[in-house]
Amino acid sequence: MFSNRKIVLYIAASLDGYIARENGDIDWLSMVESRNEDYGYKDFLRSVDTVIMGRRTYDQVLTFGDFPYKDKKCYVISRTARPKDDYAEFFNGDICELISEIRQKDGLNIWLIGGAQIVGEFTIKNLIDRYIISILPILLGKGIPLFRNDITEIRLRLCRNVAYPSGLVQLSYER
């Protein structure tokens, strides 16, 4: 019996659909930073107890200083096997099996953090239940796209949209 745990992609992208510059840099995300606005991030964090990310994203998160998801179960999807470290369990098997295993346990929702390769795999396998995408008011022109061009059509239902004074627009869709 499966729980009602949803896989939620919560991510930011440029207006032209990129999640990072070609070199992986995300410096442009700071353009909407505000001391008085977190765009629902704290509430979202309270709704998840598990995070899944790709290895490159994990390596990048480690450069930010203190690991921000210490209170969450963290899985890093990697092509190469690595032993569990202080923050994450590395997984290089079938992601459908991993998701099935996680969903068999009671808990909160599951946050798919990124990056592009893991988002692509989850999209192709139609594993994402909710998409919360914050669109920033910038055109990067080129970079790492949020969605690969080899996915098949997936119809979504708009659940919520919020426009913020910074120009960020947050869109929430469900399968």
Residue 2 has pLDDT above 60, yes or no: no
132 belongs to a structural domain: yes
Containing structural domain, residue 48 = 7-174
State pLDDT tens for residues 74-115: 999 998 878 778 899 999 999 999 999 999 999 999 999 988
How big is the CA angle at 1 (ends 94 and 46), to the nearest 5 degrees? 75
Does 1 fall in a domain? Answer: no
Whether 140 maps to a domain, the answer reads yes
- Which two three-digit tokens encode residue 146? 């949020």
Q: Give 128-140 pLDDT, tens digit per residue.
A: 999 999 999 999 9
Q: What's the mean pLDDT in 10-35?
A: 94
Looking at residues 38-55, what average pLDDT do you find? 95
Provide the pLDDT confidence category of residue 4 given band limits of 50, 70 and 90.
Answer: confident
Q: What is the mean pLDDT of residues 156-168?
A: 97
Over 80: is that where the pLDDT of 1 sits?
no
CA distance 112 to 84: 19
Between CA 163 and CA 134 the distance in angstroms is 10
Rounded to whole angstroms, how far apart are CA atoms 23 and 13? 15
Instruction: Encode pLDDT of 112-133 as tens digits.
Output: 998 889 999 999 999 999 999 9
Q: Which residue has the tokens 């990067």?
A: 140
Q: Residues, the chain, total?
A: 175
Tell me the two tokens of residue 5.
């745990």
Q: Rounded distance, CA 156 to CA 172, Å?
A: 10
Q: How many domains does the chain have?
A: 1
Please indicate, yes or no, if residue 135 is contained in any of the structural domains.
yes
- Within 10 Å of residue 42's Cβ, how many Cβ atoms? 8
94 domain-assigned? yes
Predicted local distance difference test score (pLDDT) of residue 54: 92
Residues whose CB is less than 8 angstroms from the CB of residue 119 and which lie 6 or more positions away in sequence, other chains included? 9, 11, 19, 112, 128, 146, 147
Question: Is 2 a domain residue?
Answer: no
Q: What is the CATH number of the domain that holds 78?
A: 3.40.430.10
